[in-house]
Structure 1
Amino acid sequence: MNAVVLSLDAELAWGYHDLSEIPDHVESARTSWSRLLALFDEFNVPATWAVVGHLFLDSCDGTHADHATPTDDWFGRDPGGVAECHPQWFADGLIEDIADASANHEIACHSFSHVEYGDVRTSREIAVAETRTSLEIADDSGYDVESFVFPRNSVGHRDVLAAYGFTCYRGTRPELWCDKTRFRSLAKLIDRTVSRTGPPLVTPETDDYGLVNIPASMFLFGDDGRVRTLTKNVWDDPGIRSAKRGIDRAAEADDGVFHLWMRPGNFTEERDFERLRVVLEHLAMRRDEARVKVLTMGQIAGHLREEDPTTTRTPIGPR
């Protein structure tokens, strides 16, 4: 199949709670989330929204004492209380906005509290707690999730995901030539502005746990900050050029997926939204030409499982 997949890491403050500082742009992330939904609706483009499980809650005690964690102070910044008092720690209507949007989005899982599954501190017990709790909360809220995006793209404990009935995950981006050079920033600039190749198409494949791996092709904001400063005109934006080339490669290929990902928190300036608008406009044009499909991660996994029903497994965990 030739298709384009868009996925978003929807995390608000949870994406940064274990770091030394929570960046200022988290304050505007809720507004960005809503504006992105409006953009997707405008072009009728569906996306996979991977939501941190804690955001499904309306309230909490701030301690989660029975939840296995990588460090003793893992929930130290969790303010607890109710959603209306702490809007950066609870979704408070944003998940319902995804479900109610005109575009047929998929709601996926991004762990319960943004634990890195590939971190050596993340034991199987912790991975089980993060996975099971996320599923139970989503189910209580009326959502059946099947796709998983690893926090910080740190892949690990895939056996746990399979045991709890997930069907697919976003895998790591294939290594590019510019990843191997000492002058990575310059190489990345060349790759995004001069190179005619464009970001890679990926081939979703079923792994040894029966999960469909849908690797990332490109991060929409992966260009160096200095490069963005030099390219203030949206039409000279290397991120737009690269994303459009990826879409065109998928449209012209016999087989291959262009998987573009982003975070609502990345959209901090007007030109960030304009960047996505231009990309979505190009994507809608190629889709309307019947050259490429726009699918969610779950739909990609569904297509592969139809082709090979033996990959379907019965979950052992609660659903």
Structure 2
Amino acid sequence: MRNHGTFIISLDFELNWGVHDVFTLEQYEKNLLGTREAIDKMLELFDNLGIRATWATVGMLFFRNKEELMNNLPSNLPSYTNMEFSPYGKIGDIGENEEEDPFHYGQSLLKKISQYEGQEISTHTFSHYYCLEEGQTADQFEADLVASLKVSSTFGRPAKSIVFPRNQLNIDYLKICKKHGIESFRGNEKSWIYKESKFHKESPLKRMLRLADCYVNITGHNTYRLKNAGKAPLVNLASSRFLRPYEPKLKSLEKLRLRRIKKSLIHAAQNGEVYHLWWHPHNFGKDIEENLQFLTEILELVFRLNKQYGFESLTMGEATKIAFQLNEEKRYEKIRPQSHYEM
């Protein structure tokens, strides 16, 4: 029986494909260019402290050049009502390769990530696909997923876990994921303030409460037992906390933000529960030193909790395998007849 806790990191790796509909390239250029340095420093930090992580990667980042990308597009493109959500109309404007255009290609970064022990590459869909937006269909999602799994397999094996862009979980699409070999996903926290919604339907109140929840405990620790992650149809390795980037205007609140995370980590370690932390590498592309110092404090605590409680850093894939085993144990306990000595 597994009694110690689990620490999971997932990173939504997308570069400009994840923000093309929110910022102009000029508005977000500094973050995107700084992402490469931030990734180097994160990998070094993970390696030094034995931290394993899952890099949920947009499929478009895998290609060497535009020709390769164009030759591997999904067979059925999303027909969003708001076509600003679709990146396909913007491909004509991107550069020819990673050297010319570091905003839309990431193959060299993926190769670097793959060289580090304990770093897993999973899918963030092919095109940063929005599963709840109007106009798109299940068939289009399936075509996107197939294209994503095909290109991710060039880095060893097809992805086995998925992180849905903008956390737009569409329950109806989980069976499609299972059909194509996906075993787990990152769900949202249970509180209503984290409930999935369409991008432009997010209420200001929910945004305000989510921001406040980063500093004071509004929604609880958002930790859970791995054996309760379920498997119907996929294991739900739900989020515990989005690691917000450093904000100079809120510098005076940094100690509160750190304490909020540390208290939940300690709770998870002491109670044998899962703590799932996530962010985007581009969140660290600006104020790199401040963000890395904050992350270092978190991971050094995880390192100490591992020594004290056996709090274990796992990828989503590794945690999924254990969840399957725990579910089998639960099923066996239900069907196992009681012995004479247990009656």
**Structure 1 unaligned runs (5+)?**
311-319
Instruction: Identify which range, 130-139 or 286-295, moves more after superposition.
Output: 286-295
Among residues 13, 16, 31, which one is paired with 2:37 in the alignment? 31
What RMSD in Å do the two structures reach over aligned CA positions? 3.0
The 8 Å contact of residues 198 and 242 in structure 1, kept in 2 or not, is answered as: no
SS at match of 1:260: strand
Q: Which amino acid aligns with 1:251?
A: A
Structure 1, residues 185-235: CA drift from partner, whole Å, max 9, x if none? 47854x5555599532134522532x1011101101079x5872433xxxx
Q: Which stretch has the larger CA shift, 164-173 or 176-185?
A: 176-185
Higher helix share: 2
- Aligned-partner Cα distance in 1 for 2:22–2:152: 26
The answer on 1:168 being equivalent to 2:190 is no
For the 8 Å contact 2:75–2:143, the answer to whether it is kept is no
Asked whether 1:206 is paired with 2:242, we answer no
- Give 2:255's match in structure 1, choosing from 230, 237, 244: 237
Deviates more, 1:28-37 or 1:172-181: 172-181
- Per the alignment, residue 315 of structure 1 pairs with none
Superposition deviation, residue 84 in structure 1: 2.2
Deviations 1:283-304 (A, max 9, x none): 1111122431111111111012
**Structure 2 unmatched runs, 5+:** 196-202, 330-343
Aligned to 2:18: 15
Quick one: structure 1 residues 19 and 39, their matched pair in 2 at CA, closer, same or farther if it must change by over 3 Å? same
Residue type of the alignment partner of 1:30: R
Q: Does 1:107 align with 2:121?
A: yes
- Cα displacement (A) at 1:10: 0.8
Which residues in structure 2 correspond to 1:294-309 (within 5 Å)? 294-308=313-327
Equivalent residue number for residue 257 of structure 1: 274
Question: 2:59, 2:205 → 1: CA distance?
Answer: 38
| Distance change >3 Å, CA 184–CA 60, structure 1 → 2 | closer
Which one is further off, 139-148 or 58-67?
Answer: 58-67
> Which structure has the bigger radius of gyration?
2
Matched positions, count: 302
Range moving further from structure 2, 29-38 or 130-139: 29-38
Q: Secondary structure of the equivalent of 1:294? A: strand
CA offsets per residue over residues 97-123 of structure 1, 9 Å max, x none?
111114x12211100010112223321
Normalised to the residue count of structure 2, the TM-score between the two structures is 0.78
C-alpha distance in 2, partners of 1:65/1:304?
A: 32
Residue 142 of structure 2: which of 124, 128, 135 is its match?
128
Corresponding position of 1:273: 292
How many percent identity over aligned positions?
26
Question: What's the CA shift for 1:183?
Answer: 9.1
TM-score, structure 1 normalization:
0.84
Q: 1:144-223 residue pairs with structure 2 within 5 A?
A: 144-156=158-170, 157-175=173-191, 185=208, 189=212, 191-193=213-215, 195=217, 199-203=221-225, 204-209=228-233, 211-221=234-244
Aligned to 1:314: none
